[in-house]
Amino acid sequence: MNERLIFEKSRKGRRGYFFPACDIPENEQTQSLPDTYSRCTVPELPEVSEIDTVRHYNQLSRKSFGVDLGFYPLGSCTMKYNPKVNEAAASLEKFTELHPLQDSSTTQGALKLMHELTGYLCEITGMTWGTLQPFAGAQGEYTGMKLFRAYFTQKGEMQRNNLIVPSSSHGTNPASAHLAGFTVIEIPADERGMVNPEYLEPYLNDELAGIMLTNPNTLGLFETDILAAAKKIHDAGGLLYYDGANMNAIMGKVRPGDMGFDVVHLNLHKTFSTPHGSGGPGAGPVLVSERLTPFLPVPDIGFDGKKYNFVWDKPMTMGKVSGFNGNFGILIRAYTYIRVMGSKGLKKASEMAVLNANYLKTRLMSKYELKYPGICKHEFVLSASRIKEETGITAMDIAKGLLDLGIHPPTMYFPLIVPEALMIEPTETETRETLDDFADIMIQLAEQAYHEPELLHAAPITTPVRRVDEVQAARKPVVRWRKESN
């Protein structure tokens, strides 16, 4: 039975809780609130009993899927297990009871955590200093683009407006560059699925602002020609931006700073383990090389040898990018994760993430196509195009079939350069048995496409909502109840 909306359960006058009678005399009740701020109509809240409310939310919680419930190989999202010790640290009262407007003399612990975390992230990425403010990877990218702009403005090179974004970059990269006012120049991936330094040649002039690169790229491949590409961009006076959201593949192995990058963002909610999905919560710290540090957002978190403090006096700063100091709860989780793992643990995590991805890829290659072969890093992209040609079953049908078997599907139809793409990222935290179960199921679905395609066309049959109109759902999502829609 489908769970109805709580508004549909509402019955006039039904209550789950009664407030005590108001002890403020009636004639004083509205005195403190000016009319402009008072409601004219009663809010449309659902009127439900306590048991209906309890059942409603428990039912909903049982329908949601998360990494604590099952395998979640959603490529590009790094849905790794989130150790519960992170949650314990983030729930400490001394953190949860803080207010961002408290005087810094009373928040030394929190400032120390942020200062040290910035230092750890610099060590991991090979950068000089950074900001923890951005709330997401994409906001980190936008911040990075604004840093590029501040740097060129200060140098008097306002004409540098062209930003190269390879086709194998994450989709947010061109969007962030465009929003920051740059002209996006897309270059194709070569036959290896990588950036070819030769393709940069036509754009190496004094209008070049730089390049924005996802590495490992969205095909899960490490850009092996990165040093040559970095040299070309720098020689032309441009800067290099590193989308480090895929850092889970390379921690302790290589560092963007050593590859020549000027700005990096990390997705703490991916690599540094925070429960995420459906758009939040997140943190996208930005780390920069020496020459860009003067432009970092304010306030910086400083340490004078005795005390931690907010540093506002930075004449060349690009300004502020978030309210207060970012998503502090996520910062605590990342800090805890890094401290618990240590440098050896982080390196091992990356090694295991790459091993798991290559194991799974090898098991699935017989049934699905791999358009760009070779050793992958943390993820790989299969194609269901041969299955589609021969049976009419699409990547979408396979994904829906997985839902019926209790598995979250991989990312589909992305990156765009692979037709019928299924982008799989198992992460380091899955066991060999889980990987084998998933591989068996994927193989079974590929075989089903040939023998019982009607079952896959009909899938999913076990979920509360069957197939939705994907285009309508994406273009006109109805996520708010309105009386008139009933």
Ligand X SMILES: Cc1ncc(COP(=O)(O)O)c(C=O)c1O
The stretch among 241-249, 321-329, 333-341, 424-432 that binds ligand X (CB under 6 A) is 241-249
Of 76 and 125, nearer to ligand X (C-beta) is 76
**Which residues of 179-228 form beta strands (DSSP E)?**
183-187, 208-214
Do 175 and 138 meet the contact criterion of CB atoms below 8 Å apart? yes
* DSSP-based helix, strand, coil % in the chain, nearest 5: 45, 10, 45
Binding mask 10-29 for ligand X (x = CB under 6 A): --------------------
Binding mask 196-235 for ligand X (x = CB under 6 A): ------------------x---------------------
Beta sheet of 129-131, edge-to-edge order:
129-131, 286-288, 263-265, 239-243, 208-214, 162-166, 183-187
Instruction: Give which of 249, 293, 247 is closest to 267, Cα–Cα.
Output: 247
Residue 256 interacts with ligand X (CB under 6 A): yes or no: no
For the CB of residue 312, give the shortest distance to ligand X in the complex, in Å.
Answer: 27
Q: Which of 170, 255, 333, 377 binds ligand X (CB under 6 A)?
A: 170
Q: What is the token pair recorded at 299? A: 């306030």
Write phi, then psi, for 424 (nearest 5 degrees): -115, 125
Residue 77 interacts with ligand X (CB under 6 A): yes or no: yes
Residue 172 interacts with ligand X (CB under 6 A): yes or no: yes
Of 211 and 245, nearer to ligand X (C-beta) is 245
For the CB of residue 257, give the shortest distance to ligand X in the complex, in Å.
Answer: 18
Residue 245 interacts with ligand X (CB under 6 A): yes or no: yes
Amino acid (one-letter) located at 196: N
Binding mask 268-307 for ligand X (x = CB under 6 A): --------------x-x-----------------------
User: Can you tell me the distance from the alpha carbon of 159 to that of 193, in angstroms, rounded to the nearest whole number?
Assistant: 31
Name, in order, each residue with C-beta under 8 angstroms of 153's C-beta and a sequence gap of 6 or more: none
Length of the chain: 486
- Going by the DSSP 8-state scheme, the letter that residue 307 receives in this structure is -
Of 271 and 448, nearer to ligand X (C-beta) is 271
Residues 398-457 that bind ligand X (CB under 6 A): none
The stretch among 6-14, 110-118, 239-247, 338-346 that binds ligand X (CB under 6 A) is 239-247
- Going by the DSSP 8-state scheme, the letter that residue 69 receives in this structure is T
Q: Which residue is nearest to ligand X (CB)?
A: 137
Of 104 and 167, nearer to ligand X (C-beta) is 167
The stretch among 219-227, 242-250, 356-364, 466-474 that binds ligand X (CB under 6 A) is 242-250
Whether the bond into 460 is cis, omega within 30 of 0: yes
Residue 131 interacts with ligand X (CB under 6 A): yes or no: no
SS3 state of residue 58:
helix
Of 423 and 439, nearer to ligand X (C-beta) is 423
CA dihedral 360, 362, 368, 374 (to 10 degrees): 110
Q: Which of 48, 138, 251, 423 binds ligand X (CB under 6 A)?
A: 138
Of 82 and 448, nearer to ligand X (C-beta) is 82
Going by their DSSP bridges, the two strands 129-131 and 239-243 should be labelled as unpaired
- Residues in contact with ligand X by CB under 6 A are 76-77, 136-138, 170, 172, 214, 243, 245-246, 267, 282, 284
